């Protein structure tokens, strides 16, 4: 492990010459392969019969030369830079080119979306947190989730369209590990951010909006009870 960590520290920002260029080269290779896939759909006459979805599993790792600007934070954090990701859907004749949506959606929504479009009935006895996105594809202003919840053990967050309440346990071993190995600051304690004003997580609003923070914590506590997590 020590050998690996020595190598890793030598390859992360700012220690690797041209590290950002290596990162961008990987993105270019990925983009080219996505292009090959789309070309094949065109050539086989299946492009208009195919929903193509591209998304990432988390925000970019800044120590590995990714950039999440203008969002705050990085992979491993519950800042927007860690949990808000590229989510692109393309379906000629259904989704208007260049359209965008501010609705809260999640990768959890993909299963019920694909099932609905394929005409597959899902077992109602199996709990699913996802919501089909078929409506928002044609009406980008249609709301999807009222709230999204996140939990990694030592940190949690609840995000609604206009705000996010986030907590990171001060001095937790996990946070110290991430700070030491990944060079990531996950923050400490409770914080509240508003998004309607465009400031996002650059301004702390907990002292100004204690009632909103209490409402969001109550919503998150109810979610934890529902899925059987310890209360915050």
pLDDT tens profile 59-74: 999 999 999 999 999 9
User: Is residue 197 pLDDT above 80, yes or no?
Assistant: no
User: Is residue 199 pLDDT above 80, yes or no?
Assistant: no
Q: What is the pLDDT of residue 198?
A: 74
Q: What is the pLDDT of residue 154?
A: 95
51-227: CATH topology is Alkaline Phosphatase, subunit A (3.40.720)
pLDDT tens profile 64-109:
999 999 999 999 999 999 999 999 999 999 999 999 999 999 999 9
- pLDDT band of residue 232 (cuts 50, 70, 90) is confident
- For residue 193, list its beta bridge partners: 164
Q: Which two tokens stand for residue 114?
A: 């694909």
Other beta carbons within 10 angstroms of residue 186's beta carbon come to 24
Q: What is the pLDDT of residue 202?
A: 86
DSSP, collapsed to helix, strand or coil, labels residue 4 as helix
Boundaries of every domain in the chain: 51-227
Report the pLDDT averaged over residues 18-35. Answer: 95
Higher-pLDDT residue of 180, 27: 27
Planar angle of CA 35, 62, 54, nearest 5 degrees = 25
**Residue 197 and residue 221: Cα distance in Å, rounded?**
26
Q: Which two tokens stand for residue 90?
A: 């393309």
pTM of the model: 0.90
């Amino acid at each position: 492990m020590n050998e690996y960590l020595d190598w890793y520290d030598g390859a992360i920002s700012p220690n690797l010459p041209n590290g950002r260029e290596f990162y961008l080269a990987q993105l270019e290779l990925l983009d080219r392969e996505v292009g090959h896939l789309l070309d094949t759909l065109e050539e086989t006459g299946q492009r208009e019969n195919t929903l193509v979805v591209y998304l990432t599993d988390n925000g970019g790792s800044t120590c590995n030369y990714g950039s999440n600007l203008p969002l705050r934070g990085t992979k491993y954090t519950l800042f927007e830079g860690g949990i808000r990701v590229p989510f692109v859907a393309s379906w000629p004749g259904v989704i208007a080119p260049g359209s965008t949506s501010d609705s809260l959606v999640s990768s959890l929504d993909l299963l019920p979306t694909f099932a609905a479009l394929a005409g597959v009935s899902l077992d109602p006895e199996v709990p699913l947190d996802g919501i089909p996105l078929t409506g928002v594809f044609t009406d980008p202003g249609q709301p999807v989730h009222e709230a999204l919840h996140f939990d990694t053990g030592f940190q949690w967050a609840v995000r609604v369209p206009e705000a996010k309440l986030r907590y990171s346990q001060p001095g937790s071993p996990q946070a110290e590990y991430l700070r030491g190995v990944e060079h990531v600051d996950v923050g400490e304690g409770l914080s509240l951010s508003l998004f309607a004003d465009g400031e996002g997580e650059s301004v702390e609003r907990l002292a100004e909006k204690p009632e909103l923070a209490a409402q969001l914590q109550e919503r998150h506590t109810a979610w934890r009870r529902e899925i059987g997590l310890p209360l915050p």
